[in-house]
């Protein structure tokens, strides 16, 4: 069938070569030697002027990590990673910690300008209302600047790099760090606990609705450098915060490792909305290079009637291994997971969520949209469980996969477990292809093939796009279009 | 406007010949009806005109305004003014009808080197055309054709036709699945678009639609050829006597 064949051919050429964030910046860097041992960890800790307990915590994690094995259950294949061939610390020489905007190296500011990240404290126009977004910019191993800090401080909101928080708010960090993702959680989380270099810290006090969107922008620039960031967000009783992270990396032939840990804690009646637009370099069209994205993200609905919502748009990375999860501990708490995972070229995605119902009357909702093109593999892996005491747990799961071409794969692997007979779990799954009929219909209306695919795909993911903060919804839509672009005539 | 010359075409996948030496001329301003029994090649003809790649033209030519269109892909033909109203309009989940209309109109404008429509101008045109076809604004917010009734689907097709302002309209079995009220609305919509610089090809199995869209010429298609042409009285003749006599006479 020629019409379909042509689409397949076009999509096959999809280019990952069109990655527009692939530029590299020459900046003098202060790097730790390659390799991982206790001395390196001591070096990282001293570079960051950390308190002694933090160093101990890292070393404990490191010793634990030495006894662990890399997980192999995910549906992804990659050559063995040599953990001693990686730099665990890399920071621009000019940086000895986050500074005010005026002090930041202009070269760095240019990088973010090129990436379209607003570091100037400007008001960006979104629809009718002007809204502000505070940004924490993390470059390789360090946070280079955090904007709108003063304004947030007035509202009582703490938003800074986690290194800074460790020095300025050690009690808060110590109280919550590792309480959602323990040091021993899994291979990559344990590695992260030992070597994490920076990330964001957010604390929203009781009853405060954070006055603006918060966001962190991660950039891996250096060669052979791993990025291990750690983010910790706490919404105290009745607080609300919406947070967005974005990420890009230069185009390189070698693979880069990114192993982050994100912990969210929502106390009574608090709500955290966490959105991700992940656009790490996916590798070239032959599958060379790209970021290995091994991430542990978990939210703890610790308080009554608390709510945590994850929204993710995953278009980048050679390999994605992440399962943003919710522990529904507080009675009446609610967890949500909205995901769009686009894989193209040789990308491999194994992603999904876990909803662990512990408290009474807890509810969760999972909407996952996987789009596979090229020779990629796209797996949804999700767990929904109700524990013995989780009376009236409710879950609704919907997993839809869309295939473009016939060389890619979509898989759905749900694990459902209810130990309480009052639990009600629903699971719906569909797999479809962009049909020749749909495509021809669009063409006949004068819509060229690429625009038609973008239109159909955007229709497919609409439910999830609606969950993103408005400013990013448009961006995400464009990104999906670019990720699926064929040969532009 | 449209000249089909000794057209031979087959299904690309298995080589089955469907159109076997078809000749047809339709002038600007003309409404031509193509009638024929099931399996005569009516729908295939509509697909070949609009450029669907499942079919291969092996001989002959299709001229549109004097130029061959065989090398043009479907979206180029559409942008040049060829519109096909589908017998079975396709569902596009998640894409609001309004959004689809905007993308289609602007893509065609882009191809022709015209500026995109401004939102108020687009809204004005849609509202006007929708009102003519008794289409509620609520329907325009729903995903295109998803959960539409048979009548709604066909009205949505005519709405697109009205907004895209094609020069050659091909209506493939537009009457199928319509009750008499819906049929009248659709026929009124088509009649409103009749103009001296626009040609309409109405493909239908039954005379019924032609009571409302009165054709200038009627052509009988059988086994991939036009075996008889005439004026609107030919349609009545077919209605009264069936296809058998004409087929026999042509054999």
Searching chain A, which residue's CA lies closest to the CA of residue B91? Answer: A438
> What secondary structure does DSSP assign to A451-478, as a single string?
HHHHHHHHHHTHHHHTTS-HHHHHHHHH
> Is the residue at A212 inside a domain?
yes
What is the predicted pLDDT for the residue at A213? 83
Mean of the pLDDT values across residues B209-222? 93
Kindly state whether residue A185 falls inside one of the protein's structural domains: yes
SS3 content of chain A, % helix, strand, coil (to 5): 25, 35, 40
**Which of B82, B20, B24 shows the shortest CA–CA distance to B49?**
B82
CA nearest neighbour of B121 among B135, B149, B102, B140 = B102
- Is residue B23 included in any domain, yes or no? yes
Give the bridge partners for A401, in sequence order: A370, A431
Indicate if the pLDDT at residue A483 is higher than 90: no
Tell me whether residue A234 is in a domain: yes
Give the tens place of pLDDT for each residue, A77-104: 888 888 888 888 877 665 555 556 666 6
What DSSP character marks residue B116? P
Q: Is pLDDT at A124 greater than 60 in this prediction?
A: no
Q: How far is A362 from chain B (nearest CA, A)?
A: 30
Mean pLDDT score, A264-292: 86
Tens of pLDDT, residue by residue over A236-269, are: 999 999 998 876 665 666 777 888 999 999 999 9
Of A114-128, A221-235, B175-189, the least confident: A114-128
- Give CA–CA dist B96/B107, Å, rounded: 17
Which stretch of DSSP H or E encloses residue B59?
A: strand B55-64
Euclidean distance between CA atoms A2 and A8, whole angstroms? 10
The band of A464, judged by pLDDT with boundaries at 50, 70 and 90, is: confident
The mean of the pLDDT values for chain A is 82
Return the structure tokens found at B218: 């009627």
| Residue B137 within any structural domain of the chain | no
Is there a domain that residue B118 lies in? no
CA distances from A394 to A9, A10, A98 (A): 44, 43, 44
Residues of B in contact with A462 (CB under 8 A): 94-95
**Residues A148, A149, A153, A155, Cα dihedral to 10°:** 30
Q: Give the strand order in the sheet containing B55-64.
A: B17-26, B2-11, B55-64, B67-68
Strands (E), B74-140: 82-85
CA B192, distance to chain mean position in Å, is: 15
Q: Is residue B224 part of a domain?
A: yes
Cβ-based interface (< 8 Å): residues of B facing A: 12-13, 50-54, 73-75, 78-79, 83-84, 86, 89-95, 99-100, 103-104, 107-108, 111, 143, 160, 164
Evaluate whether residue A489 is within a structural domain: no
Largest CA distance in chain B: 58
Q: Are A247 and A219 in contact (CB under 8 A)?
A: yes
Whether residue B120 lies inside any domain: the answer is: no
**Pair type for strands B55-64 and B67-68:** antiparallel
DSSP B178: -
Partners of B83 on chain A (C-beta within 8 Å) are: 444
CA atoms of B137 and A276, how far apart (whole Å): 35
For the whole model, what pTM was predicted?
A: 0.79
Domain that holds residue A13: 2-483
CATH number of the domain that residue B231 is part of: 3.40.50.300
The number of folded domains in chain B is 1
Beta-carbon contacts of A344 under 8 Å, excluding residues fewer than 6 positions away, are A11, A14, A16, A282, A372, A373, A374, A376, A483, A484
Interchain CB distance below 8 Å, A456 and B103:
no
In-domain check, residue B134: no
Q: What is the mean pLDDT of residues A408-432?
A: 91
B164 has pLDDT over 50: yes
Highest mean pLDDT among A131-145, A224-238, A333-347, B55-69: B55-69
Q: Is B38 a member of any domain?
A: yes
Q: What is the mean pLDDT of residues A36-47?
A: 88
Counting beta carbons within 10 angstroms of the beta carbon of residue A374, is it exposed (0 to 12), middle (13 to 18) or buried (19 or more)? Answer: buried
Nearest Cα neighbor of A263 from A325, A205, A212 is A325
Query: Could you tell me if residue A140 is inside a domain?
Result: yes
pLDDT at A199: 84
In chain B, what is the straight-line distance between the N-terminal and C-terminal CA atoms, in Å?
30
- Number of A to B CB contacts under 8 A, please give it: 83
- Scanning A340-447, the segments in alpha helix (DSSP H) are 436-444
Residue A112 confidence (pLDDT): 64
**Residue partners of A55: CB distance under 8 A and separation at least 6:** A41, A42, A45
pLDDT at A122: 45
Helix, coil or strand: residue A399? strand
The reported pLDDT for the residue numbered A14 is: 41
Considering its fold, how many domains does chain A have in total?
1
Give the range of the structural domain holding residue B48, as residue numbers without chain letter. 2-91+166-250
* Residue that has been written with the tokens 């405060």 in this structure: A208
Residue with tokens 């946070």: A143
Q: Of chain A residues 324-343, which have a CB less than 8 A from chain B? A: none
Chain A contact probe: residue of B9, B51, B53, B170 with most A CBs at under 10 A: B53
d(CA A442, CA A454): 11
Residue B194 backbone phi and psi in degrees, to 5 = -65, 130
pLDDT band at B182; cut points 50, 70, 90: confident
Give the one of A435, A440, A447 whose C-beta lies nearest to B52's C-beta: A440
CB A326 within 8 A of CB A308: yes
Which residues on neighbouring strands pair with residue A213, listed in sequence order?
A: A133
Phi, psi dihedral angles at A87 (to 5 degrees): -85, 130
Q: Has residue B70 been placed in a domain? A: yes
Q: Could B92 and A456 be called an inter-chain contact, meaning their C-beta atoms sit closer than 8 Å? A: yes
CB contact under 8 A, A443 and B89: no
DSSP A31-44: EPPBS-SHHHHHHH
Q: How far apart are CA A486 and CA B2, in angstroms?
A: 34
């Amino acid at each position: 069938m020629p019409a379909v064949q042509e689409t397949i051919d076009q999509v096959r050429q999809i280019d990952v070569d069109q990655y527009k964030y692939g530029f590299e910046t020459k900046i003098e860097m202060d790097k730790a030697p390659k390799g991982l041992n206790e001395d390196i960890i001591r070096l990282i800790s001293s570079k960051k002027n950390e308190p002694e307990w933090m160093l101990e915590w890292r070393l404990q994690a490191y010793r634990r990590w030495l006894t662990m094995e890399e997980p192999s259950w995910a549906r992804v294949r990659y050559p063995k990673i040599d953990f001693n061939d990686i730099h665990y610390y890399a920071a621009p020489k000019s940086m000895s910690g986050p500074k005010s905007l005026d002090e930041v190296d202009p070269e760095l500011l240019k990088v973010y300008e090129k990436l379209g990240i607003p570091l100037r404290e400007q008001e960006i126009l979104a629809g009718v209302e002007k809204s502000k977004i505070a940004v924490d910019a993390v470059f390789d191993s360090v946070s280079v600047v955090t904007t709108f800090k003063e304004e947030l401080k007035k509202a009582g909101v703490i938003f800074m790099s986690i290194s800074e928080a460790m020095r300025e708010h050690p009690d808060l960090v110590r109280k919550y760090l590792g309480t959602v993702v323990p040091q021993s959680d899994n291979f990559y989380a344990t590695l992260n606990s030992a070597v994490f270099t920076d990330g964001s810290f957010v604390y929203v006090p009781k009853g405060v609705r954070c006055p603006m969107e918060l966001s962190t922008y991660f950039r891996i620039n250096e060669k052979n450098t791993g990025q291990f960031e750690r983010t910790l967000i706490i919404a105290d009783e009745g607080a609300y915060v919406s947070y967005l992270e974005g990420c890009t990396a230069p185009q390189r032939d070698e693979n880069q490792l990114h192993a982050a840990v994100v912990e969210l804690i929502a106390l009574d009646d608090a709500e955290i909305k966490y959105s991700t637009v992940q656009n790490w370099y996916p590798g070239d069209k032959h599958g060379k290079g790209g970021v290995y994205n091994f991430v542990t993200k978990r939210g703890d609905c610790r308080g009554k009637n608390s709510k945590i919502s994850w929204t993710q748009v995953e278009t980048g990375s050679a390999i994605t291994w992440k399962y943003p999860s919710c522990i529904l501990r507080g009675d009446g708490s609610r967890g949500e997971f909205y995901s769009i995972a686009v894989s193209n070229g040789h990308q491999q995605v194994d992603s999904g969520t876990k909803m662990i119902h512990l408290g009474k009357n807890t509810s969760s909702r999972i909407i996952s949209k996987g789009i596979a093109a090229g020779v990629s593999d796209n797996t949804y892996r999700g767990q929904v469980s109700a524990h013995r005491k989780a009376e009236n747990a409710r879950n609704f799961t919907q997993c839809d996969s869309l295939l473009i071409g016939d060389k890619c794969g979509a898989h759905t692997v749900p694990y459902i477990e209810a130990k309480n007979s009052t639990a009600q779990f629903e699971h719906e799954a569909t797999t479809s292809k962009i049909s020749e009929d749909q495509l021809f219909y669009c063409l006949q209306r004068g819509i060229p093939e690429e625009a038609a695919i973008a239109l159909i795909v955007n229709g497919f993911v609409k439910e999830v796009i609606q969950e993103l903060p408005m400013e990013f919804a448009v961006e995400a839509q464009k990104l999906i279009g670019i990720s699926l672009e064929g040969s532009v005539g | 406007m449209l000249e089909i010359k000794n057209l031979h075409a087959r299904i690309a996948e298995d080589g089955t010949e469907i159109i076997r030496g078809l000749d047809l001329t339709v002038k600007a301003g003309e409404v031509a009806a193509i009638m024929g029994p099931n399996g005569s090649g009516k729908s295939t003809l509509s697909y070949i005109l609009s450029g669907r790649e499942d079919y291969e033209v092996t001989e002959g030519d299709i001229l549109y305004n004097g130029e061959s269109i065989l090398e043009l892909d479907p979206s180029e033909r559409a942008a040049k003014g060829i519109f096909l109203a589908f017998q079975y309009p396709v569902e596009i989940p998640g894409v609001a009808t309004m959004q689809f209309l905007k993308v289609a109109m602007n893509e065609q404008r882009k191809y022709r080197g015209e500026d995109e429509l401004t939102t108020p101008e687009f809204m004005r045109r849609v509202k006007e055309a929708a009102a003519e076809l008794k289409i509620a604004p609520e329907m325009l917010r729903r995903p295109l054709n998803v959960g539409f009734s048979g009548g709604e689907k066909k009205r949505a097709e005519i709405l697109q036709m009205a907004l895209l302002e094609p020069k050659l309209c091909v209506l493939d079995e537009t009457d199928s699945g319509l009750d008499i009220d819906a049929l009248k609305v659709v026929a009124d919509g088509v009649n409103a678009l009749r103009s001296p610089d626009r040609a309409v090809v109405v493909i239908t199995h039954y005379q019924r639609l032609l009571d409302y869209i009165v054709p200038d010429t009627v052509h009988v298609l059988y086994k991939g050829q036009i075996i008889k042409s005439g004026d609107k009285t030919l349609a009545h003749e077919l209605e009264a006597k069936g296809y058998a006599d004409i087929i026999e006479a042509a054999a």
